[in-house]
Amino acid sequence: MWHRFLTGASSYSGSIDHLIFLIAGIVGFWFLIAEGALFWFTIRYLKKEGKPTSYVTGEGNRLMLWITIPVVLIVLCDIGLNIADTFVWVAIKQDLPPAERTVRIIGQQWSWTFQAPGADGVLDTADDIRTTDDLHVLVDTTYHFEVMSRDVLHSFAVPAFRIKQDAVPGRTITGWFRATRTGTYDIQCTQMCGLAHGMMAGRVIVETPRQHNAWLQQEAAGKGSLAVREAEPTRSEAAVSQLAEAKP
């Protein structure tokens, strides 16, 4: 039911969503139990005239059960959650499926640069395509991505894919995704990286094979987004320029 309200556009977005709802459900259940018991005891044992207050030490066997049973149940729930999130973590962060294509993602203050394979589908060849702020990928294709930073700590995040990966200066970090729905999705930097951090946005454009081939041909002809962006400032560059002009 919740899928009507959440956009999930990668092969593992559903696994992360289910894990979050599982955690919320279990935590919410125990929260309602605890708050319900608190209000019930508060009302049940209100001060009454002529009735002395009883002192409860909690040392009797019956009273100890009220402490032991809930603690055991909560620990079992916690173990279950740890097992569930370990499976999700291993599937996403540890077990990388074979790559059909690879892209390179470079963060810098305050924009994203992407290097994608050209018509040959292989990275680091003569027909590679470099773009700023826009990443074009094929739907239903497994991508490996290499994330790096030119300056400070950034974090590459695509909420619709449920991806969040830090970009650390001096390191190349590999991850993967498989987009399952065509469309345009936001890219964010989720690590405070300086003055224009909030302006460091981009887009992932997920395309059908026909759309992607048309884009490749357009780029090869020199009429793609890179040529346009060389003539005009990027959104991030424009934002930085405006901030600089606003300084006294």
- Domain residue spans of the chain: 2-94, 101-246
β-bridge partners, 173:
147
Q: Per residue in 90-100, pLDDT tens?
A: 989 888 899 99
Mean pLDDT of the chain: 84
The answer to whether 12 and 160 are in contact (CB under 8 A) is no
Burial of 112 (0-12, 13-18, 19+ CB in 10 A): buried
What is the average pLDDT across 180-203? Answer: 91
Spatial distance between the Cα atoms of 158 and 139, rounded to a whole number of angstroms: 15
The answer to whether 2 and 14 are in contact (CB under 8 A) is no
β-strands 142-149, 101-108 pairing? parallel
What is the average pLDDT across 55-63? Answer: 74
Q: Residue with structure tokens 């729930």?
A: 77
Please state which architecture CATH assigns to domain 101-246: Sandwich (2.60)
With bands split at pLDDT 50, 70 and 90, how would you rate the model's confidence at 225?
very low
At residue 192, φ and ψ (nearest 5 deg) are -55, 120
Residue 231 pLDDT > 50: no
- Look up the pTM and report it: 0.74
